[in-house]
Structure 1
Amino acid sequence: MNKFEWRKQCKDLYLPKNKPVKIDIPAMCYFTIEGSGNPNSEKFNEAIESLYSLSYAIRMMPKKGITPEGYYEYTVFPLEGFWDLDKEGRTLDYLSKDNLVYKLMIRQPEFVTNELLDYAVKSVKSKKPNLLCLDKVKFEIIEEGLCVQAMHLGSYDDEPQTFNLMQQFCVENNLNRLEKTHKEIYISDARKTTPDKLKTVLRFKVKQS
């Protein structure tokens, strides 16, 4: 099998156009971690580092002499996150980043299991003992189902413009948004990309009315 690369094999999931589309998202495996508060915090950065460290520990297992059943060559998937607001945040007429609630995640290949997560946690702990949130990472299978998504180009602060386009798409196609929670998939590395060049997939669940 050729190396699985999400940028090539999963363009519909990760590289949509900037025009909204309807898409049915199947069940997939993820490493996830939950948190709350400002995403500019050290706690948030540690959560991201934990997810990436564990994902790469799985990816590099064959180089350690361990090849899990069903293993194949692949590119590590991008960071994703479900975003919501806590009770106080929902009462405000402006966005307070301190009131954000999130579940960050990185998709895993189908051969990954809870046992492999345990292996990855032990492996990363031996190298990075100061990563205290490793034990908070879970293995989950998540099925998002029917969604509307679009590629947002530019700063995270300008996302409402793309959400407005997505909402208009829903009106025109007899779709109802199911919840305030939305997903973001970070195609660009914010540490190396200027805000105006950022690419972020925005997605929320819908049902046909």
Structure 2
Amino acid sequence: MRYLMVDGHGDPNVGTAFQDAVEALYPVAYKLKFASRDAGRDYVVPPLEGLWWADDMDSFTAQRDKSRWDWTLMIMVPDWVDTSSVPSSVRIETLSEGRCVQTLHVGAYDDEAAVLERMHTSFIPENGLRMTGRHHEIYLSDRRKTEPAKLRTILRQPVA
């Protein structure tokens, strides 16, 4: 799939880098959507997604040290969309993850650690799999409008 992407580092709740990345993506996504609609092919802008990784993946589970996290925020765009006018602050890249393990998490983002711990240390190895690629999240809820206990997030991990 083809995505608009912006990279960053660190705790998404500290500083402005994470919010700046969100604010860079959405205007571009909607500009492309409206240009496509005007050309006769409308579509719904998909939800925000994120790839997450760190040198030590325990920083997502046991340690929960967000300052060590790297991330790429993404919004998918259809293949037919002309992306020639995308600004240099946003890149376009194709993501092909292959086989994945995923689950729907309902609740606050900070409550994901236990789910990820089970996914990484129990489910994946118990099924003869190993993690490949970056942890992937798809944000089905708008965190600005949804109480934390009701947030819905797909947690995905590419595996082999």
TM-score range, shorter chain: 0.7 to 0.9
CA drift at 1:44? 1.1
Q: Which has the higher strand share?
A: 1
Q: Which has the higher helix share?
A: 1
Separation in 1, partners of 2:43, 2:157: 27
Separation in 2, partners of 1:151, 1:136: 31
CA drift at 1:105? 0.4
Cα distance per residue 1:67-110 (max 9 Å; x no partner) = 2xxx52211000001111257x96xx622222211011000011
Structure 1 partner of 2:138: 185
Cα distance per residue 1:150-198 (max 9 Å; x no partner) = 001101111122224434332443222225x301110011111111101
CA drift at 1:36? 0.7
Identity between Structure 1 and Structure 2 (%): 39
Bigger radius of gyration, 1 or 2?
A: 1
Structure 2 partner of 1:23: none
Structure 2 partner of 1:174: 128
* 1:82 and 1:183 in contact (8 A); partners too: yes
* Number of residue pairs matched by the alignment: 155
Cα distance per residue 1:7-35 (max 9 Å; x no partner) = xxxxxxxxxxxxxxxxxxxxx01000111
CA drift at 1:136? 2.1
Structure 2 residue corresponding to 1:100, chosen from 56, 69, 83: 69
Written as runs of structure 1 = structure 2, the 5 A alignment for 1:187-206 is 187-206=140-159
Alignment TM-score, normalising by the size of structure 2: 0.86
Alignment TM-score, normalising by the size of structure 1: 0.67
Structure 2 residues not aligned, in runs of 5+: none
Structure 2 partner of 1:31: 4
Look up the SS of the partner of 1:38 in the other structure.
coil
Structure 2 partner of 1:80: 49
RMSD: 2.2
